[in-house]
Homo-oligomer: A and B are copies of this chain.
Amino acid sequence: MKIETVDFFYLAMPEITTAADGSQDALIVRVTAGGFSGWGECEAAPLPSIAAFICPMSHGACQPVQNAVLGQRLDTPADIARIAHQVEYDCMDLLQAAHTWSGIEMALWDLLGKARGEPTWKLLGYDRSFRKTPYASQLFGDTPQGTLERGRRARADGFRAVKFGWGPIGRGALRIDVDHFVAAREGLGPDGILLVDVGQIFGEDVEAAAQRVPALEAARTTWLEEPFVANAYGEYAALAGRTRVKMAGGEGAHNFHMARNLIDYGNIGFVQIDCGRIGGIGPAKRVADHARAKGVTYVNHTFTSNLALSASLQPFAGVAEATICEYPVALQPLAVELTANHILRDADGEIAAPEAPGLGIEINPTALEVYRVEVEIAVGGRTVFRSPVAA
């Protein structure tokens, strides 16, 4: 097969807020080759990601992503790795390229799996797709009472693990944060797995983060996610050395090496990979392998559609000991309606990467139209991008 077309669909809710909710818009990719279609999703700003695909070349190491993709042979997983290498090299100086490529790479795995009649995790070398315990991923409440209620709701909804993120943590007095941690544990109940995500709020301030540690330990928090900016490995390692709460991070990694470095130098206990940013499923699988070798637990990072969720489950589907996974529970309508099928919890409350070929997720073409954002880009008087038609 040869890669014939790559189309980008920019979708958005009618209104976008400053909430840390990544499901308010989406950039969906469709690739065609040999009579098959594959679908992927960039976890990225849509307009700059589209621009990185079609922009004029700046020089040999700053080429548009399309130059390394269109017309390429696609018959085996090795072809995907080869194209990935070409993108990495030819787009060395085009920063956004990794995010653009991530959605394309996913779509290539989906397409290849469909062509072969095999799920992506099988193409990755796994024998089976192990069930995972999904954690409800949601934001802290505006008040401790709000956090308490969200914890209770998640528990009532059958979740044994809950992650609370962002919100007021680190923005005001220590006392407020402590109250939220207490409320989260209370809402979740004594047996639940409590995960806390503070969204880089402490920048590189180890002491400010360390002040929260006693309360996090008292609440029996399993991990503290992204206390610092993504590349501050020294700070991650310093805090890790001061508490039994494990550090978690990695969603900011836009290549394999950044995630490896966070494991090797940041001393994290959980590595969280977003396939929509790291360059797709291939490099994520490499991270899963490296994590296993280092005794670090791999977890997906997913805050968008079930297409992205399926992709993010593939790299560690066959890792039996990686038992929990992120599961967004408060998606915007566009992210829900985007897919015709969904990855639902089974009777035991667990989920797994689909058994169906490719990513096992069907796109709902109506959603591509309903939430469509029209984009037109002209360079030098010539139209270089116009939003494609779904059908």
A52-79 residues at the B interface, CB under 8 angstroms:
52, 54-64
- Assess whether B18 is in contact with A60, with CB atoms less than 8 Å apart: yes
Q: How many Å lie between the Cα of A24 and that of B260 in the bound state?
A: 35
Does A126 sit at the interface, judged by CB under 8 A?
no
- Assess whether A377 is in contact with B374, with CB atoms less than 8 Å apart: no
One digit per residue, 1 when the CB lies within 8 angstroms of any chain B CB and 0 when it does not, for chain A 285-317 equals 000000000000000000000000000000000
Does A193 sit at the interface, judged by CB under 8 A?
no
- Assess whether B92 is in contact with A59, with CB atoms less than 8 Å apart: no
Does A25 sit at the interface, judged by CB under 8 A?
yes
Which residues of chain B have C-beta atoms less than 8 A from A1's C-beta?
none
Which residues of chain B have C-beta atoms less than 8 A from A95's C-beta?
44-45, 48, 95-96, 98-99, 254, 277
- Assess whether A24 is in contact with B59, with CB atoms less than 8 Å apart: yes
Q: How many Å lie between the Cα of A98 and that of B374 in the bound state?
A: 26
Does A88 sit at the interface, judged by CB under 8 A?
yes
- Assess whether A58 is in contact with B231, with CB atoms less than 8 Å apart: no
Stretch at the interface among A140-148, A176-184, A337-345, A378-386: A378-386
A10-60 residues at the B interface, CB under 8 angstroms:
12, 16-22, 24-25, 43-52, 54-60
- Assess whether B381 is in contact with A62, with CB atoms less than 8 Å apart: no
Q: How many copies does the complex hold?
A: 2
- Assess whether A22 is in contact with B59, with CB atoms less than 8 Å apart: yes
Size band of the interface chain A makes with B: 35 or more
Q: Using A265-B265, A379-B47, A380-B374 as known contacts, say yes or no to A56 and B16 having CB atoms under 8 A apart.
A: yes
Does A5 sit at the interface, judged by CB under 8 A?
no
Does A376 sit at the interface, judged by CB under 8 A?
yes
- Assess whether A255 is in contact with B234, with CB atoms less than 8 Å apart: no
Which residues of chain B have C-beta atoms less than 8 A from A59's C-beta?
16-22, 24-25
Which residues of chain B have C-beta atoms less than 8 A from A264's C-beta?
234
Which residues of chain B have C-beta atoms less than 8 A from A367's C-beta?
none
Known: A16-B58, A45-B62, A234-B264. 11 other contacts (CB 8 A): A16-B56, A20-B60, A24-B59, A44-B93, A47-B54, A47-B377, A48-B49, A95-B277, A229-B255, A231-B257, A231-B261
